Amino acid sequence: MPESNTPIRGLLFDFGGVLWDMRWDWSRELERQHGLRERAIVETLYAGDVWRQLEVGVGAREDWLRGAHAQLEALAGKPLPPLHQHWREQQHLIAPNIELIRALRANYRTAVLSNADSTLPQRLRDNGIHGLFDAVICSAEVGVAKPEPRIYAIAAERIGLPAVACVFIDDLESNVEAARAAGMQAVCFRIDRDDRLEEQLRALGVRAGSDILPA
């Protein structure tokens, strides 16, 4: 674990669930509308071997999406509209967290650390937030995914800091625990339980503007 007196200089943010509202409520609503079991939409995308390969850079995004839709139709036993796409269309940036990063940006090195396919950097650009980060560590590009220890070391190296000087924010407790084991401080942020990231980071001494702790 990091020493409590080590100044925090780097902030590492997961994408889905921390910067990007996944709208889990909408996936459940689509499942209800189409008579699907709970989490069918999520699991056909993210619970299989095809995704586990894609997130470390093996395979094609188009094959993954096509296969996930076929699995969903097999579960339903009938043709379905493109429900994964309909779910994605309801997703959006988590505005308070983006504004918080803007406020912290001048005083901390920042990065995205996400299990994602290789389109992640372009999605950040499309949403106008790529410039908020000193580095983007995408699992598909580095060939290793959370919670493997090596990806946390890569992230710290990319922003030029020791792990002990970094805080990692994720919405999965397993990834948070892995970051702590790798020497970082870490926060589990969950939008579905109304967590306030500013308060969570402030509890670790992370502050914006004139409130910042001295280096």
Helix residue spans in 10-148 (DSSP H): 24-33, 40-46, 49-54, 61-76, 83-89, 95-104, 120-126, 139-142
How far is it, in rounded angstroms, from Cα 182 to Cα 176? 10
pLDDT in tens, 170-196: 999 999 999 999 999 999 999 999 999
Tokens linked to 211: 């409130």
CB–CB of 18/90 below 8 Å? no
Helix, strand, coil share of the chain (percent; to 5): 50, 15, 40
Task: Report whether pLDDT(209) > 80.
Answer: no
pLDDT in tens, 117-157: 999 999 999 999 999 999 999 999 999 999 999 999 999 99
| Cis preceding linkage at 147, omega within 30 | yes
Name the DSSP letter for residue 48.
S
Sign of CA dihedral 168, 172, 178, 180: positive
How far is it, in rounded angstroms, from Cα 49 to Cα 59? 11
Q: How confident is the model at residue 141, as a pLDDT?
A: 98
Q: What is the CATH number of domain 10-21+92-209?
A: 3.40.50.1000
Tokens linked to 36: 């699907």
Task: Report whether pLDDT(4) > 80.
Answer: no
The dihedral region occupied by 59, where left means phi > 0, alpha psi between -120 and 50, and beta the remainder, is left
How far is it, in rounded angstroms, from Cα 7 to Cα 204? 10
**Residue owning tokens 């669930």:** 17
